[in-house]
Structure 1
Amino acid sequence: MFVDGTPEEWRQITNVNVIALCLCSKLTVNSLKERGLDDGHIINISSIAAHRVPPIGSFHFYTGTKFAVRALSEGLRQELQAANSGIKLSVVSPGLVKTEILDKITENPEFAKQVFELNTSLKSEDIAHSVLDMIVKPKGVLKVDFK
């Protein structure tokens, strides 16, 4: 999607993965402040692709947006910390999740099928459980899994 991608495709993936995430995060922080609340928990969903670039050309632009999610989330976390805010910010970076994203990015359903057959993948429910786990953790607890 990088060399063969179009500006329209780049805008769409950037709007979904970066702009929407930033807007939701900003509106959440502002809403909490407006209501006099200084706690809460923003959980942004990134990807393992934010930590390493997979050797799949059609995946590179997506990977760039996930690096942006990671960087922008860290920036917001630093802003909140500098303001002595009680609002927590976490980022979930799941590995391979069995969704239709590979079909869309590669436009090759057979390739996607092979990837899921040859690799262990997560289900969407696994990500939801991780998010719930983060919500109920007390402040100061950090869980990092690298399996």
Structure 2
Amino acid sequence: MVTGAGSGIGRAVALTLAAAGWSVALAGRRAQALDETAALAGDGATVLTVPTDVSDAHDVAALFSSVRDRFGRVDLLFNNAGTFGPPVPLEDLSYEDWRSVVDVNLNGAFLCAQAAFRAMKEQSPRGGRIINNGSISAHVPRPHSIAYTATKHAMTGLTKSLSLDGRPYDIACGQIDIGNAATEMTGRMQTGILQANGELAVEPVMDAADVARTVLHMAALPLAANVQFATVMATAMPFIGRG
């Protein structure tokens, strides 16, 4: 299962998994975008599209019910859905915008992880894998990113708790921290984005397919092995030494 599968990293990962022979459930808010991802996977792929708002507990329950009805089990969750929010100074960020980012990035990730955990614990054979999409921002912030950065730091705590709580049930959990994959969300990188010193600078990006190959590697491991944390980033981006 891939959340946020209608575009960007989610789409790239979904297509890579499908090409590798996985049966893939595509979740996201926009039905048309999910259908486009399914079409790109090709006629030979086994995909299920389920329009879902991950911040809505009822939507998440319906998503997992649909997946179990179609495929019988859940072996992998790529917890990817996320939003950045408006890049405004902290004092100008409305509570509504703060809450919107937290609802998707953190509450949505929790709801999906909880539902996956329940399914993986109960199914036979037992177990499965959860891969959380963290971010470079799980380590260091950008200016004007307090909501996004706070949720991505929280994602690391979610990953560690899932790893610990999943041990008795053969549930593995890892996190991939991504820097500057070329997606709609990172379009500003290529035109100039605010740096910690107040300057604007163009930043290099990498192909989202490079991220997808890493997720595929993590997903294909036996449950006895786990990539706990992986960082995949554009080589020359300002991460080491950032800030």
TM-score category, normalised to shorter length? 0.7 to 0.9
Partner residue, 2:117:
29
Q: 1:11 aligns with which of 88, 99, 118?
A: 99
Structure-2 residue corresponding to 1:59: 145
Residue 34 of structure 1 deviates from its aligned partner by 2.7
Identify which of structures 1 and 2 has the higher relative contact order when contacts are C-alpha pairs closer than 8 Å and 6+ apart: 1
The alpha carbon displacement at 1:144 in A equals 4.2
One-letter code aligned to 1:61: A
Hey, what's the Cα distance between the residues in 2 that align with 1:112 and 1:6? 27
Question: Where do 5+ consecutive residues of structure 2 fail to align?
Answer: 1-87, 194-200, 236-243
Aligned residues: 136
Structure 1 residue 98: Cα displacement? 2.0
- Deviation at residue 53 of structure 1 after TM alignment: 2.1
Q: State the AA in 2 paired with 1:45.
A: N
| Off by >3 Å, runs of 4+ in structure 1 | 141-147
Match of residue 87, structure 1, among 130, 155, 171: 171
CA-based RMSD of the aligned residues comes to 2.4
State the TM-score, normalizing by the size of structure 1.
0.79
Instruction: Report the Cα distance in structure 1 between the residues aligned to 2:155 and 2:100, rounded to whole angstroms.
Output: 15
Match of 2:53 in 1: none
Alignment pair present for 1:40 and 2:128: yes
What is the rounded CA distance, in whole Å, between the counterparts of 1:37 and 1:68 in structure 2? Answer: 31
- Partners of 1:145 and 1:12 lie apart in 2 by 26
Identity of paired residues, percent? Answer: 26
Shift of the 25–5 alpha-carbon distance from structure 1 to 2, 3 Å rule, reads same
CA distance in 2, matches of 1:46, 1:69: 6
Q: What is the TM-score of this pair, normalised by structure 2? A: 0.50
**SS of residue in 2 equivalent to 1:71:** helix
Aligned partner of residue 92 in structure 1, secondary structure: strand
Higher strand share: 2
**Larger helix proportion of the pair:** 1
Matched residues in 2 for 1:130 and 1:46: separation?
A: 14
